[in-house]
Structure 1
Amino acid sequence: RRKRIQCQKKCGCGACTVMISKYDPFQKKILHHTANACLFPICALHHVAVTTVEGIGNTKSRLHPAQERIAKSHGSQCGFCTPGIVMSMYTLLRNKPKPKMEDIEDAFQGNLCRCTGYRPILEGYRTFAVVSGFRQCSKRSGRVVCFCNGRRSLVECGCCEVPACRGNKATVMSSSLFDSSEFQPLDPTQEPIFPPELMTQKNKELKQVCFKGERVMWIQPTTLQELVTLKSQYPNAKLVVGNTEVGIEMRLKNMLYPVILAPAWIPEMNAVQHTETGEEKERQYLLSEWELQYKRKTVSYFCSCFSHAALEQLRWFAGPQIRNVAALGGNIMTASPISDLNPVLMASGSKLTLISTEGKRTVTMDEKFFTGYRKTIVKPEEVLLSVEIPYSKEGEYFSAFKQAYRREDDIAIVTCGMRVLFQHGTSRVQEVKLSYGGMAPTTILALKTCQELTGRDWNEKLLQDACHLLAGEMDLSPSAPGGMVEFRRTLTLSFFFKFYLTVLQKLSKHQNGPNNLCEPIPPNYISATELFHKDPIASTQLFQEVPRGQLVEDMVGRPLVHVSAAKQACGEAVYCDDIPHYENELYLTLVTSTKAHAKILSVDASEAQSVPGFVCFVSAKDVPGSNITGIANDETVFAEDVVTCVGHIIGAVIADTQEHSRRAAKAVKIKYEELKPIVTIQVSWLRSVPSISSQSSVNFAIHTWLFSHVLHLPSVCLINVSFNRIGRPVRCMLDRDEDMLISGGRHPFLGRYKVGFMKNGKVKSLEVSYYSNGGNSADLSHGVSKINFLAGALIHVYTDGSVLLTHGGTEMGQGLHTKMIQVASRSLGIPTSKIYISETSTNTVPNTSPTAASVSADINGMAVHNACQTILKRLEPIKQANPKGSWEDWIKTAYENCISLSATGFYRIPDVGYNFETNKGKPFHYFSYGVACSEVEIDCLTGDHKNIRTDIVMDVGTSLNPAIDIGQIEGAFVQGIGLFTMEELRYSPEGNLYTRGPGMYKIPAFGDIPTEFYVSLLRDCPNSKAIYSSKAVGEPPLFLSASVFYAIKDAIYSAREDSGVTEPFRLDSPATPERIRNACVDTFTKMCPSAEPGTFKPWSVRV
């Protein structure tokens, strides 16, 4: 089965994670590591074993413990990310059968999940961990909780229910969502062995391999001489180890490299040597091996302070899947201006050995090494052979820092390496190197600042002068690419301040005679010298147990596992693009507008026709009927004359394969006459609305489902048009960047308000006007909304007593099918094992309402219940005649008596409607309530924040399924953390979307959830207006994440007070590191003032 690809081959999500196993002839052992299948070339798998999630267990025979535990601990919802997470855990267990909790959390740095909120995944896999500090309870791992006073104990209770808390027999609270005693134990001896046929190759001499494709040739030499000769023959050839850079360039930037050289088998490029002056790492030395070497505390770890800094940078360098395949040399030769490691190597004075047919030469990574954007002094025919990192000297100190939008698996905004060497026994600077990334088109040295600081004493005066010098030298144009100019400039000073304090703290511990070299740093500054540390997650989930006496087969109110969880954990779940291909199937790729507002002058597809496999180009002239579509009939299937947004669909290319259709789509040429676009609310507002006193802003966000749309409106229309044109099946799966371009999102709002108050501060009036950026077309109208409160269901009962249930809701991971099975189980009085749901289809339940607005369980649950009641009413005479009979007996008798065993159910929410003209009516059937309290820490110097603790109490009525409801609460809350702290769509002033994928649009990762995460379902609060006294859950908990936003704002207030700043301030959502740092006004922010608005063209704007 095809691997899951959420990020469309950008190594950004981990959904495609597999385990790579190989015999390493250099270490003479078998190695297992994770990798992203989306960019790992098949050519690089020669003599390598690949294990996918299907290869470790399945639902027909046996689930592997890594699959079983994520399924039974409710760690899977939509399931698209689950195979990748399972394989990350499985690979960790192959390498370390008894991991620590820190190992588990580190293993997931390269995996993303949009549904679960991560907590249940970590909780389930905690059962593998060697947990220190408390013993694991037999039913769940974690601290015992007293449900009366909330205090936590380290004492094992055996059942997680404290007897002293059972005074109220009518209401018993539980924290056991799963029973870990049911898990099968992990037996490392039963894992699949490494293929013997690959082991037989270990003593054989490898021979050069060459793979030739349609446009690219892959050559894998076995000796250094072969590589040097090939590089001389093909000087523009790319050297590829992990393909993490070249693969993305070819995929996204439409780059073509006809010749690729893979040096994986060359001994001279796979070793580490320790010399008298430093450690020499070969070009292909993998980053994960480098990290592991430092963690093992080898000799070089103690000899070099650079190792400490490099280890800290590697800790946040991408995810394990990237570090396992990316090489040190690749990081250098890529010459990225935001490289995590190049500033470290430059500041350390590392030396590079280059080799070519003309011999070897050594160059130093200094200010001359990088000559321009992604350019170096290395000649095209040269190969980087090794990197020498010098050992540190006595009196030498080194630090490295990185700031990104998200701590885990994110590219840097600013990164740096800083080194200082003092004259022996003094605090006088002998040499200093300050290297920065993200402040220029290349990694740079602050040469002027370093020169001025040399010969100075390490004291307060040096700090002040250094900051002023850096503020001048690390200047940026207000229109600089990447934006965030003030933030980036401030970071250069903040990083130096951290470095200054770190060095000062170490100097204070050294003596020159009877005196210390300097005084200890003030206690309130110590936190600036500490590295980021996050404790393993602690969590508790409390819910009301089912009433005593409830039948065992009645599953309503019990934490039933998601019915698809096992299939998802085994990779057996079928998603839209997994549907088998037809023999004559073709592939479609969209051609979209690159302009936000323009007239279409011409569309030329002639160049696309030369691409192999091209079939046809489809546009508006191929629409047989009306080209108008959309809820308000204000959209088109294909744009004809004018485009109104970047991503407006103009046409589509159909070809025989996905790759050919993509290439052909990129070859379509479109000429425009540009019109002035309205991109931001402010521009629109200035044209139509008079000025009001103050304002606040809420950001635009994209849902970022892990599976991209396959038939996306209006794409479903154009698929039909394409089929009508050629008469053959057509498949279209949107790339992530296409999906984000043409999909709507959570609309941004601009609020403007007036406040009237008395002299004593009492508020007397408030006038608020909110403006929404609704996009380029109309959305759901109130008229359409009225028909969204209805649902249908269909039930078939078969003679063996089994039940086929169909309803109008769509299962997308939220557990709707599971809940409907539970509802039918109680309604019919039969076990859930007898009830089966095949799919949602309009040929069984027509005219369905959208599965949205968190009402699906309410309306579909009632429809299912009504259908069940129809069946039961028909069975009533039979049950009266045979009251002791079984369900199967009654069904068989009904069949024999020709009683229909099929029934439909229908339900609509009563008395809901609102007249906005008269302001009368009932807009909502009922209300959902929730409360959250969050605690955060912020780094006032960098803008980073850490979510320490969150407590949530949510009213879900009488829960149909506590595990699913708690999962929805946690998932919504963590998604809200993204909404309020990091997720931000960034547009150019011309309306071009920059954030088109996981590379720039960041959603929360495992490390972003609260360290202490406690969720309770409000007890004894039945809701009479919904099925079995339940309430909707899904979107309502999302806004509780605002508690994190306001906790951050409260922390900023505290930081500003420490700096003597007391006036109010504006903090827009999301509270990104940029906004947090800029709001923490201090000396450094004042040194980097903002440019006057209107005097420059910004790189990006807020819509």
Structure 2
Amino acid sequence: MVEQTTVLQQTEAQPKSPAGAASSSLRHESAHLHVAGDARYVDDVPLPQGAVHVALGLSSRAHARITHMGLDAVRAYPGVVCVLTAQDIPGHNQVSPVGAGDEPLLAEDTVFFCGQPLFAVVAQTRHAARHAAVLAQVEYEDLPAILNIEQARAQGSPLVCRSLEMTRGDAPHALAQAPHRLAGQLAVGGQEHFYLEGQAALAWPGEDGEIRICSSTQHPTETQHMVAHILGRPNNLVTVEVRRMGGGFGGKETQANIAACLAALAAERTGKPAKLRMDRDDDMLVTGKRHDFVIDYDVGFNAQGHVLGVDMQLAARCGWSADLSGPVTDRAMFHADNAYYYPDVRLRSIPLRTNTQSNTAFRGFGGPQGAAAAERIMEEIAFATGLDPLDVRLRNVYGTTDRNVTPYHMTVEDSIAGEIMTQLAADCDYRKRREQIRVFNRTSPHLRRGIALTPVKFGISFTATHFNQAGALVHVYTDGSVQVNHGGTEMGQGLHTKMVQIAMREFGLSKERVRITATTTGKVPNTSATAASSGADLNGMAVLAAVRTIKDRLVAFAADKWHVAPEQIRFTADGVVVGAEVIPFATLVNAAYMARISLSSTGFYKTPKISWDGATGRGRPFYYFAYGAACAEVLVDLLTGENRIERVDILHDAGQSLNPDIDIGQIEGGFVQGAGWLTMEELFWDTAGRLRTHAPSTYKIPACSDRPRIFNVKLLENAPNREETIFRSKAVGEPPFVHGLAVLHAISDALASLNDYRTCPGLNAPATPEQILRVAERLRQQGGETNAQVHA
């Protein structure tokens, strides 16, 4: 049984609000539809009469020139309407999200990875389109292919985007003067998004060049722009709508553009509605993954475990195009300190171009990879000094008055990682359990236990400063019902629910009176992606701005009509208090309408205080940090290499939570996804560059049986955000993902028992059974030697 502990936070004094208002646990706004099977996704939208279907023809080479592409058999297949190639694109054959010009929608003369779209088949049925697509006769002239980081470094592969360096102090001097020094390497693998709903889009052609698209995208505005770019028409002729997604995790931030553009192109060419829903195998073959990294580190420290200097290189396999690799590798460096202060530091990114899928956004956006390096350093120091890893971590956390400047020169003003780790260690009895585990391991020949407690400090904001803005549109109707629209997208994380709660709280309404509508570029333009954990922060403040504009109008109207001071008017669950009277909200609204008071408003918000200069590697890229800590206990079978998560305790900082139940759900889900990335999710390409793990049969994600046997999750009490976020809450989408690192280090702790905890196991991720057995054998044969070279 999963044990769950929820600690609700104290809320600020506020007017009486209906059950479910902000800061309480209103159920997900679509929960009843999910349970009943009535929640409509792209594939559930009824097809208009005469709609056509689109399927992809994919490259079978990793890097080659196309010498001949025979499509006659494809066109001749029964039911095929037409076949689209790069030459059929009326606008620009480019879908690079950063304007790099290196990502054609359909290949032209050269292919750059195995699975790259070559053409699109448009047919009367999906069956016909898919079967016709495999009939193409494509001839290639193979070119040298670079498939991984090792090859890219050895063969001098060009960088896919600019490299970044962050420095503070003099790292080489600090390392040279340190009494102890060690160097090592950490490899962390990639990860498939594996959203339940695959990439899908449905496009309708309209009049005078208009086109409407229902897309499973996290970034409707970018999808709008890409479709307009491909079709060669202005943005105002393209409308993109998203009611909900069946998961995204970053995989639908840029990758959804492919499906939307090809559906739109087919609709443009045929004059009929067109739908593309990728098969799971095609989805995994075409779309990008989490970036895998190889991180080289050199660290100086003293006998007490204090870090004195750090030099780190973070090399990433980025794939065939730039995509979002620049900001991803930047964020990896932003989090290469995790919760720790490095007195002198130098960090460098190496974003390498390879002939594999173009790696892209994924929950954490590079942050987890950087944090993994920080935790490896803490682990290495603990083994080198003989200290408890928790003590090393506590001795190196950021302070609030000194030891508080990051490698990118941002001052950490609210470091609470140490307090959270200390509280969690006491709550879960970490130190006693650690001793009990060591006793167990002395007498257990084949089963070993391990425990680890790791923190997270996660920066909240888009590092591209201009994305830190949001808009909203709120309508109040004359019956007192409210409709809310905003620029964020719902992918199951509860964003729409929180937006409903904001309107409920401000107007004093029940949930039945507030309706969220589909995100659409036709209502709120120029939106940012729902990403970077900023969905509730940005859109919540925009919704609040719109609601309060309407409230101000209603207050001014009521004050004039009933001859009371504005401060005597309050919106409560019982109605609107106007002086000594309580007036039903609908009555007030209808009276305002009769007096010609506007009951509709837009809202806009931009995040304050942030700035970033990529040229110098300095600035304040984050508005604030979210914190937390996790303690994981595992059991490792040394005969099979399998591991089991016995218990996990998490204490997480969500500020003044908008919805504790939803936030705890996000923490649980983020942790499990993070643990899956680090222990079982393995991507494998063969020597020809073909992805072999492209289906549920070959790629393993966590199942119900992989969850912790005991799972305790608490929200930090009495911890409102010190910054002026929406009702003093904190973002909760990505930070909990990093808690999975506790599992990796617990497995490492279990393996360390093989040589009586003398040396660091140097466990890379994912810690699959094969990897665990290899490390265990190495520790036995080499007497504890690791990949780290220690210099006293």
Query: What is the TM-score of this pair, normalised by structure 1?
Result: 0.48
CA offset at residue 545 of structure 1? 5.5
Name the structure 2 match of 1:873: 552
Give the secondary structure class of the aligned counterpart of 1:971. Answer: helix
Determine the C-alpha separation between the residues in 2 that align with 1:725 and 1:1082: 60
Give the secondary structure class of the aligned counterpart of 1:933. Answer: strand
Determine the C-alpha separation between the residues in 2 that align with 1:741 and 1:918: 37
Asked if 2 retains the 8 angstrom alpha-carbon contact of 1:925 and 1:1025, the reply is no
Give the secondary structure class of the aligned counterpart of 1:1080. Answer: helix
Q: Select between 623-632 and 787-796 the one with higher mean Cα deviation.
A: 623-632
Give the secondary structure class of the aligned counterpart of 1:720. Answer: helix
Call closer, same or farther: CA 1:1063–1:969 in 2, change over 3 Å. closer
1:699 aligns to 2:243 (yes or no): no
Asked if 2 retains the 8 angstrom alpha-carbon contact of 1:588 and 1:654, the reply is yes
1:162-201 → structure 2 map (5 Å cutoff): none
Query: What is the TM-score of this pair, normalised by structure 2?
Result: 0.66
CA offset at residue 764 of structure 1? 4.7
1:907 aligns to 2:586 (yes or no): no
Name the structure 1 match of 2:37: 571
Determine the C-alpha separation between the residues in 2 that align with 1:613 and 1:713: 26
1:977 aligns to 2:675 (yes or no): yes
1:24-423 → structure 2 map (5 Å cutoff): none
Name the structure 1 match of 2:154: 686
| Match 1:1077 to one of 761, 773, 778 | 773
Largest Rg, 1 or 2: 1
Name the structure 2 match of 1:101: none
Name the structure 1 match of 2:641: 943
Name the structure 1 match of 2:92: 626
Call closer, same or farther: CA 1:729–1:845 in 2, change over 3 Å. same
1:739 aligns to 2:283 (yes or no): yes
Asked if 2 retains the 8 angstrom alpha-carbon contact of 1:1056 and 1:1081, the reply is no
- For 2:742, the aligned partner's letter is S
Give the secondary structure class of the aligned counterpart of 1:1068. Answer: coil
Determine the C-alpha separation between the residues in 2 that align with 1:686 and 1:1032: 40
Determine the C-alpha separation between the residues in 1 that align with 2:303 and 2:626: 38
| Match 2:733 to one of 1034, 1047, 1055 | 1034
1:657 aligns to 2:355 (yes or no): no
Name the structure 2 match of 1:722: 266
Asked if 2 retains the 8 angstrom alpha-carbon contact of 1:546 and 1:558, the reply is no
Q: After superposition, what is the alpha-carbon deviation per residue over 1:251-284, rounded to whole angstroms, capped at 9, x for unaligned?
A: xxxxxxxxxxxxxxxxxxxxxxxxxxxxxxxxxx
Call closer, same or farther: CA 1:825–1:986 in 2, change over 3 Å. same
CA offset at residue 923 of structure 1? 0.7
Give the secondary structure class of the aligned counterpart of 2:693. Answer: coil
CA offset at residue 746 of structure 1? 1.2
Name the structure 2 match of 1:666: 134
Call closer, same or farther: CA 1:1084–1:1032 in 2, change over 3 Å. closer
Determine the C-alpha separation between the residues in 2 that align with 1:761 and 1:954: 26
- For 1:744, the aligned partner's letter is G
Name the structure 2 match of 1:641: 109
Name the structure 2 match of 1:803: 482
Give the secondary structure class of the aligned counterpart of 1:670. Answer: strand
Name the structure 2 match of 1:327: none
CA offset at residue 932 of structure 1? 0.5
- For 1:674, the aligned partner's letter is D
| Match 2:24 to one of 554, 558, 574 | 558
Name the structure 2 match of 1:710: 200
Asked if 1 retains the 8 angstrom alpha-carbon contact of 2:262 and 2:276, the reply is no
Asked if 1 retains the 8 angstrom alpha-carbon contact of 2:57 and 2:119, the reply is yes
Q: Select between 756-765 and 827-836 the one with higher mean Cα deviation.
A: 756-765
| Match 2:493 to one of 801, 805, 814 | 814
Asked if 1 retains the 8 angstrom alpha-carbon contact of 2:540 and 2:726, the reply is yes
CA offset at residue 756 of structure 1? 4.4
Q: After superposition, what is the alpha-carbon deviation per residue over 1:843-866, rounded to whole angstroms, capped at 9, x for unaligned?
A: 111111100011010010000000
Determine the C-alpha separation between the residues in 2 that align with 1:730 and 1:1013: 45
Give the secondary structure class of the aligned counterpart of 2:140. Answer: strand
Unmatched tracts of structure 1, length 5 or more: 1-535, 1087-1103
Asked if 2 retains the 8 angstrom alpha-carbon contact of 1:708 and 1:735, the reply is yes
CA offset at residue 1062 of structure 1? 4.7
- For 2:697, the aligned partner's letter is G
1:614 aligns to 2:80 (yes or no): yes
Q: Select between 619-628 and 942-951 the one with higher mean Cα deviation.
A: 619-628
| Count of residues in Structure 1 that have an aligned counterpart in Structure 2 | 547
Asked if 2 retains the 8 angstrom alpha-carbon contact of 1:1078 and 1:1085, the reply is no
Name the structure 1 match of 2:2: 537
Asked if 1 retains the 8 angstrom alpha-carbon contact of 2:643 and 2:769, the reply is yes
- For 1:676, the aligned partner's letter is P
CA offset at residue 759 of structure 1? 9.2
Give the secondary structure class of the aligned counterpart of 1:559. Answer: coil
Determine the C-alpha separation between the residues in 1 that align with 2:628 and 2:301: 30
Unmatched tracts of structure 2, length 5 or more: 158-181, 202-255, 328-461, 563-577, 783-792
Give the secondary structure class of the aligned counterpart of 2:777. Answer: coil
- For 1:541, the aligned partner's letter is T
Q: After superposition, what is the alpha-carbon deviation per residue over 1:294-348, rounded to whole angstroms, capped at 9, x for unaligned?
A: xxxxxxxxxxxxxxxxxxxxxxxxxxxxxxxxxxxxxxxxxxxxxxxxxxxxxxx
- For 1:1011, the aligned partner's letter is R
Call closer, same or farther: CA 1:1045–1:857 in 2, change over 3 Å. same
- For 2:200, the aligned partner's letter is V
Tell me the C-alpha RMSD between the 2 structures.
Answer: 2.3
Determine the C-alpha separation between the residues in 2 that align with 1:942 and 1:716: 45
CA offset at residue 1082 of structure 1? 7.9
Give the secondary structure class of the aligned counterpart of 1:539. Answer: coil
- For 1:591, the aligned partner's letter is G
- For 1:1032, the aligned partner's letter is A
Name the structure 2 match of 1:845: 524
CA offset at residue 579 of structure 1? 0.7
Name the structure 2 match of 1:603: 69
> Which has the higher relative contact order, 1 or 2, with Cα contacts under 8 A spaced 6 or more apart?
2
Determine the C-alpha separation between the residues in 2 that align with 1:583 and 1:761: 70
| Match 1:1054 to one of 753, 773, 785 | 753
Determine the C-alpha separation between the residues in 2 that align with 1:605 and 1:615: 13
CA offset at residue 659 of structure 1? 1.0
1:586 aligns to 2:282 (yes or no): no
Asked if 1 retains the 8 angstrom alpha-carbon contact of 2:755 and 2:780, the reply is no
- For 1:714, the aligned partner's letter is I
Give the secondary structure class of the aligned counterpart of 2:266. Answer: helix
Determine the C-alpha separation between the residues in 2 that align with 1:766 and 1:612: 64
- For 2:709, the aligned partner's letter is T
Asked if 2 retains the 8 angstrom alpha-carbon contact of 1:681 and 1:773, the reply is yes
Call closer, same or farther: CA 1:951–1:869 in 2, change over 3 Å. same
| Match 1:676 to one of 140, 144, 151 | 144
1:754 aligns to 2:450 (yes or no): no
Determine the C-alpha separation between the residues in 1 that align with 2:312 and 2:537: 34
Q: After superposition, what is the alpha-carbon deviation per residue over 1:376-416, rounded to whole angstroms, capped at 9, x for unaligned?
A: xxxxxxxxxxxxxxxxxxxxxxxxxxxxxxxxxxxxxxxxx
Give the secondary structure class of the aligned counterpart of 2:195. Answer: coil
Asked if 2 retains the 8 angstrom alpha-carbon contact of 1:809 and 1:850, the reply is yes
Determine the C-alpha separation between the residues in 1 that align with 2:140 and 2:491: 39
Determine the C-alpha separation between the residues in 1 that align with 2:474 and 2:759: 64
Determine the C-alpha separation between the residues in 2 that align with 1:996 and 1:1012: 32
Determine the C-alpha separation between the residues in 2 that align with 1:919 and 1:778: 20
Call closer, same or farther: CA 1:609–1:915 in 2, change over 3 Å. closer
CA offset at residue 892 of structure 1? 0.7
Give the secondary structure class of the aligned counterpart of 1:927. Answer: strand
Determine the C-alpha separation between the residues in 1 that align with 2:290 and 2:743: 19
